[in-house]
Amino acid sequence: MSTKVLHVLYNDDDVLMEAVHKTRSAHHHIEEIYTPFPVHGLDKAMGLAPTRLAICAFLYGLCGLSFGTWMINYMMISDWPQDIGGKPSFTFIQNMPSFVPIMFELTVFFAAHLMVLTFYMRSKLWPFKKAENPDVRTTDDHFLMEVSVKDNEEEMISFFKETGAVEIKVIDKQ
């Protein structure tokens, strides 16, 4: 089953933002927006839910802190305790001030690396994946809004011309 979408091109981000507001108030469904750079406030204008990546970063940091604490305790207290500089390693708590930098670094390491993996999986960016950019001008200086068409194609084209669109194309998606 093929569905039709409109590819509406703009050449200014302020015009795009105003067009998004008008499109949402007219109850048209915006599939996706392609921009050459991040546009501040576009996610809120589209009505997208806030991201939960910060929660993931916190959990990944906790994993790194837990791993670092376990690793230091195992290496320096349980497995091979050493008397370094006249400071014996009897308990973890007594030596914790010297372990804080290692725990901090492992927290940051785990959070950073696991966030990169999460971002790639969430964005579906796999190695050797073909680009899904519908128009190459969106990597340079144009903004593309992809809007689904129900059965009012001509009405939508005239609506988007009024919003300041530079170019409008009707595309059949498979």
Q: Which helix (H) or strand (E) is 49 found in, with range?
A: none
- Looking at residue 84, what is its pLDDT? 73
* Fold topology of 3-36+141-173: Alpha-Beta Plaits (3.30.70)
Residue-wise pLDDT for 13-34, tens only, equals 999 999 999 999 999 999 999 9
Tell me, rounded to whole angstroms, the distance of Cα 173 from its chain centroid. Answer: 25
Strands 167-173 and 143-148: unpaired
pLDDT at 19: 95
CA-based max dimension of the chain? 84
The pTM score is 0.72
Return the residue matching tokens 């590819």: 7
The tens digit of pLDDT for each residue in 72-111 reads 999 988 888 877 777 777 788 888 888 899 999 999 999 9
φ/ψ of residue 165, rounded to 5: -70, 140
Q: Is 107 exposed, middle or buried (0-12, 13-18, 19+ CB in 10 A)?
A: buried
Q: Sheet harboring 167-173: ordered strands across?
A: 30-34, 143-148, 3-10, 167-173
Partners of 33 in beta bridges: 145
Q: State phi, psi for 145 to the nearest 5 degrees.
A: -110, 125
What token pair was written down for 68? 């670092």
Helical H segments across 40-173, by residue range: 42-46, 53-72, 92-123, 153-162
Residue 86: which H helix or E strand, with range?
none
